[in-house]
Amino acid sequence: MRPLILVTNDDGITSKGISVLIEVVKKIGDVFVVAPDSPNSGMGHAITVDSTIHVKKNKIFKNIEAYECSGTPADCVKLAKHHFLRERKIDLVVSGINHGLNSSISVIYSGTMSAAVEGAIEGIPSIGFSLDDFKYDAEFSHVKKWIKKIVEKALANEFPSNVALNVNFPAFSDKPIKGIKICRQTNGYWHEEFDARKDPHGRPYFWMGGDFVNREPEASDTDIFALNNNYVSVVPVHYDMTAYHAMKNLKRWKL
């Protein structure tokens, strides 16, 4: 029996990235799609709790059952698991392919990875895929064989419990990808800058920009290092945010 693969993303159901992802995984298993009806980049792990969620069937993908959802990427996974596929076992959740990297600290803000993490919370093997290219018409041809390899390995092997894989690809270039590296998340952050502006009515608003700061540019075991050296980075992430190393110190506070 072919595995059941749930596909979602955060760039919206009409994005090129999700089409490429579906093109690859439909050759491996039976595909079911629930994805946002509009871009949800930077949504993080938000869920809809104070308004309605609208869902509509979409025939954009030939011979594949697909639904567009007004909710967040995490909502999409919840709806699939507890409504559309409640009588079936989902063998794998794949999210992406995101237009833009989700390496380092960006994993916290990413709607793509939050969908994958939601799958992990539900006990489903889950993978988020992202590409270092933000363009709408980004080139994805060089990542297809790597997605196929990773998905097939994920289905054939024991998947780590309570874990989602954060997979990032270098942008297309004339240099072939060297291979896959299992990495850790780079210790970095976004240094934000806010550009104060005024709309035509004179009302103030802000436009956020900034740059990524890598605190460990020489570390060779990180996702940023792997990507800078033309490797696919694979980082296992989990949703237990307990800082275990800090517990001993806090106990000295004698709270």
Tokens of 160: 């780590």
58 in a known ligand binding site: no
171 closest CA partner among 140, 127, 212, 205: 140
41 in a known ligand binding site: yes
- The Cα-based distances of 54 to 19, 34, 48, 69, 75 in angstroms read 22, 12, 11, 6, 11
Q: Please list, residue by residue across 164-203, b when 16 or more beta carbons sit within 10 angstroms of its beta carbon and e when fewer do.
A: bbbbbbbbbeeeebeebbebebbebebeeeeeeeeeeeee
Within the chain, what is the greatest distance between any pair of CA atoms? 62
Tokens of 100: 């833009």
Dihedral angle computed from the Cα positions of residues 161, 65, 76 and 105, in that order, rounded to the nearest 10 degrees: 60
9 closest CA partner among 216, 59, 31: 31
Dihedral angle computed from the Cα positions of residues 226, 180, 146 and 26, in that order, rounded to the nearest 10 degrees: -110
11 in a known ligand binding site: yes
Residue 39 DSSP code: -
214 in a known ligand binding site: no
Show the CA angle centred on residue 116, arms to residues 114 and 117, nearest 5°.
Answer: 60
Look at the block and give the residue holding tokens 């092997």. Answer: 157
Cα–Cα distance, 25 to 33 (Å, whole number): 11
Which segments are annotated as binding site? 10-11, 41, 98
Q: Which residues are annotated as part of the binding site for a divalent metal cation?
A: 10-11, 41, 98
